[in-house]
Structures are given as C-alpha cells and as structure tokens.
A and B are shown apart, each in its own frame.
Chain A
Amino acid sequence: MSKKNLPWEAILALLIGIALGLLYSWVISPVAVVDAIPSALRADFKDQYRSVIAAAYAANDDLARARSRLALLGDADSYAALSAQAQKALSGGDALQSYQLAQLASALKELNPVDVPDTPTNPVAQLDLSATSKPAPVNPSETPLPLETDIPLFYTATPRATRTPTAKPGAPFKLLEQETICDMSLAEGLLQVITITSNNRRQIPGIELILSWAGGEEHFFTGFKPELGNGYADSLMQPGVIYNLRAADGGAFISELTPPVCQGEHGETYYGGLKITLHRP
C-alpha cells in the first residue's frame, strides 16, 4: 500500500478517539473507589490505622488479631514499621501512643524473632538480653519474619485470647539487675539501661531516665535505639564520678554508680561499663 493510499483520516480519527477515551476514563470519570483496602491508604492514614491497631491490642491483648489487622496495611516489615512509628510518636511527645506501638512491636518480635545486627553502632554494643528478656530463637533464619499474607477478609468471630495484665504507664520501676560489663570494644564508662515489664519481659520505650551527679544531671530516654531494643537507653559516665540513676516518674533510686575498673587480657586496665535492668511490676 502506497503512502498515498493510507487512510490517514481514519488513523487520525482513531488516535483522536483513543485520546478522548483516555481523557474520559482517566480524568473526567476515572474508576470510582468505594471499597478500598487499608493498604491503599495514604501513609499518614496508615500510621493512624497502625496506632489504633496498637491501642486495640493494648486493650484486648489479642496478638493474633493485631497481626491480622497489621497485615492489612501491607507493610513489608510490621515490626520495623511499628518501631519507627513508636520513635516518631515519642519524639512528637505522644508517650501513650509510643508505648502502645512499641508494646505491639515487642510482642511481634517475640513471635517472629530476628537477628540483631552483628555490628552494633559504636559506642553502643549489642546487648545480651538473654538474662533479662525472652528466650532466644532456636534458629532465627528458620523463622520467617513476614506476617501471614492469606488474610481473611474480616475477623468477627476470632476467639479472644485470655487477657494478660500488662504494665500500665506510671507504675514505679524497680531494680531487677545490675551488671558490670568489661568489654574493651565498648566505650569506657558506658551505662546501659533497659526497662522492661515484669510479667512478660517486654521492653518499654519512652521512659525518661535521670542520671545525676554532684553538680549536674542528664535526662535521657529509652527507645531511641530500636535496633538495640525498644526499652534500651544509654549514657556515658566519667571515671571517678559518682552517679545516681532513677526514672523520672519515680521508683527505684540506684546510687553509687561509677565506671568499674576492668583488666584486659594482657593485664592492662581500663574502665568498663554498667548494665542496669529496671522492671515495672
């Protein structure tokens, strides 16, 4: 077919028609959304949805249901999403929301434990929480993190779990454990504090801690290093200075804290650190 014989008008009309069709279907009258799923929500609404899931979990302690609801949001890693949001809430001054989000994150992590990074951020080293926290996974690599993907459309008849009392914000902390840490890979005088609940050993974020010494004091919070635990906080102590530690909302007062003197493999001395575990009954 020669150029002259091509139906140019028809081709032009076809193109104009396609353009008109697309204009109508994409702009003038796009497919209407009336039955959206939670994963299609805008990010800030997803955050709100997530925080309400955590609040409901705090009320009914039904982890299976919370997981199902979280799965609806389509997060690649629910634990990471919850932890990040908990930090955001904490920095925004919403301690209750931060607490609830972190509690749910901790519960999920207990259910689906994962490896902590092998190389912790300096000067803070990886914590050994085995003495103060939940049992370690048998083999984390065999325990997949992603939550279930086959989500039932709606959960109305899920049997409720037996309610387990959870710690409420405001109960005074008690000293559970105080350890001397001699590890040359850590910063000298590192004070590590972990806040947990007594009943289920979940770490508690957003706890304001006060480290005081003659002539000064420092306030710091748990939960700002989620990679080390939602209830983890640390500070540095100067050798030769005596410190006192307490939670801002009352409870245990731990006095006479100072960096311990440790001895290395070749007889050299250095200042170690302390690890303190506080629990809330």
Chain B
Amino acid sequence: MPPVACPGIFIYPNLWQNTNMKRWLWFFLALAAGIGLGLLYGWVISPVDFVNLPPDTLRADYRADYILMVAEAYRSEKDLDLAARRLAIFGSEPPVEIAAQALQFGTSAGFSASEIADLEALVQALRTWQPSSGVAP
C-alpha cells in the first residue's frame, strides 16, 4: 500500500503494530491513569487532614458569631483593648473592618435587633479606638 500523501510525513498502516510505539502508548496511558488515581486519592479519598487551622479559615457564619460574642462581651466589659485583642485572632486587618464585616453579614443573615445593636456599638467604638499602652491589637 502506498504511503498517505502528506508532505514530509509518512504514516504506515502498520504503525500501531510497531512494538516501540505500543510501549510508549501504554506508558503514557498508565502515567495518565496513575496521575488520575493519585489525584482521586489525594483530593477525594484521603485529602489532607485539616486540623490546627487558623481562625481566618472559619466559615462566615462562625466568624460572625465569634465577632458577635466579642461585641456582647464588650457591651458588658466596656474594654475596647480587650475586644480588639479578641478580634486580632483573624489577622492583621484593622479590628473595625473585621467588626464591620460581621455587621454586614449579620444584617444580611437576619441577626436579631439586639445582636445588630451590639455589633453596631462595637463598630462605632472601634472607629475611634487607638491601641493603648503599646498593646498591638
């Protein structure tokens, strides 16, 4: 049988019977299957076990509830430094922004009026708050 007319390339029908080619084909197929199996195992069957997580990974509702607790405690304690230190658990973001995010979440998630009031009071207080005695929030 004459070669297929394609400039510069000659494909012979018995190409797939070429032992070398078959071996490479199997090699890449097995490699792909292996990668697939590895990903399946690593992402689905046994993903990295997440413990010891930092608080900034908390789900939004848990995060908002934590901040609500800080606001509730602030209502009673009236200690802004302490409230700011408690909020600093979420990282280096300014405490007022952290509290404001929770207020926003609470408003959209249907927090009760008293809870919103607590969060608003905390946000208001933090707007003018300056860390005292060198205590970094």
Do A and B interact with each other, yes or no?
yes
Which residue of the partner chain, among A16, A31, A43, contacts B52 with CB atoms under 8 Å?
A: A43
Report whether A26 and B28 are in contact in the complex, using a CB–CB cutoff of 8 Å: no
Report whether B114 and A21 are in contact in the complex, using a CB–CB cutoff of 8 Å: no
In order of increasing CB-CB distance, the 6 nearest A-B pairs are A21-B38, A17-B34, A25-B42, A59-B76, A55-B73, A56-B69
Residues of A within 8 A of B59 (CB): 34-37
A253 within 8 A of B: no
A48 within 8 A of B: yes
Distance between A24 CB and nearest chain B CB, rounded to angstroms: 7
Distance between B25 CB and nearest chain A CB, rounded to angstroms: 9
Which residue of the partner chain, among A10, A19, A35, A38, contacts B27 with CB atoms under 8 Å?
A: A10
B92 within 8 A of A: no
Residues of A within 8 A of B41 (CB): 18, 21-22, 25
In the assembly, what is the distance between CA of A49 and CA of B38, in Å? 37
B55 within 8 A of A: yes
Q: Is the interface of B mostly helix, strand, loop or mixed?
A: helix
Residues of A within 8 A of B68 (CB): 56
A13 within 8 A of B: yes
Residues of A within 8 A of B30 (CB): 7, 9-14, 17
Binding site for B on A (CB under 8 A): 7, 9-26, 30-31, 33-38, 40-43, 45, 48-49, 52-53, 55-56, 58-60, 69, 72, 96, 153-157, 160
Report whether A40 and B51 are in contact in the complex, using a CB–CB cutoff of 8 Å: yes
Residues of A within 8 A of B109 (CB): 154, 156
In the assembly, what is the distance between CA of A37 and CA of B29, in Å? 40
Known: A13-B30, A31-B48, A52-B69. A21 touches B36 (CB 8 A): yes
Report whether B31 and A25 are in contact in the complex, using a CB–CB cutoff of 8 Å: no
In the assembly, what is the distance between CA of A69 and CA of B62, in Å? 9
Residues of A within 8 A of B32 (CB): 17
Closest-by-CB residue of B relative to A68 is B65
B129 within 8 A of A: no
Residues of A within 8 A of B35 (CB): 17-18, 20-21, 24
Known: A49-B66, A153-B61. A14 touches B34 (CB 8 A): yes
Residues of B within 8 A of A36 (CB): 50, 53, 57-59, 62
Distance between B51 CB and nearest chain A CB, rounded to angstroms: 6
Distance between B20 CB and nearest chain A CB, rounded to angstroms: 11
Distance between A175 CB and nearest chain B CB, rounded to angstroms: 29
B120 within 8 A of A: no
Residues of B within 8 A of A43 (CB): 52
Report whether A20 and B72 are in contact in the complex, using a CB–CB cutoff of 8 Å: no
Known: A41-B55, A56-B73. A69 touches B65 (CB 8 A): yes
Residues of B within 8 A of A30 (CB): 42, 47-48
Report whether B31 and A31 are in contact in the complex, using a CB–CB cutoff of 8 Å: no
Distance between B74 CB and nearest chain A CB, rounded to angstroms: 8
Report whether A17 and B38 are in contact in the complex, using a CB–CB cutoff of 8 Å: yes
Beyond the given pairs A17-B36, A55-B70, 13 more chain A to chain B contacts, judged by CB atoms under 8 angstroms and listed by A's residue number, are: A7-B26, A14-B33, A17-B34, A25-B47, A30-B42, A35-B58, A42-B51, A45-B54, A49-B66, A52-B86, A55-B86, A56-B68, A58-B73
Distance between A42 CB and nearest chain B CB, rounded to angstroms: 4
Report whether A154 and B47 are in contact in the complex, using a CB–CB cutoff of 8 Å: no
Report whether A21 and B89 are in contact in the complex, using a CB–CB cutoff of 8 Å: no
B77 within 8 A of A: yes
B21 within 8 A of A: no
Report whether A55 and B38 are in contact in the complex, using a CB–CB cutoff of 8 Å: no
Residues of A within 8 A of B31 (CB): 13-14, 16-17, 20
Report whether A48 and B34 are in contact in the complex, using a CB–CB cutoff of 8 Å: no
Report whether A13 and B38 are in contact in the complex, using a CB–CB cutoff of 8 Å: no
List 15 A-B pairs, Cβ < 8 Å. Answer: A10-B30, A13-B29, A20-B35, A21-B38, A21-B39, A21-B42, A25-B42, A26-B48, A33-B53, A34-B59, A37-B59, A42-B53, A56-B68, A56-B69, A156-B111
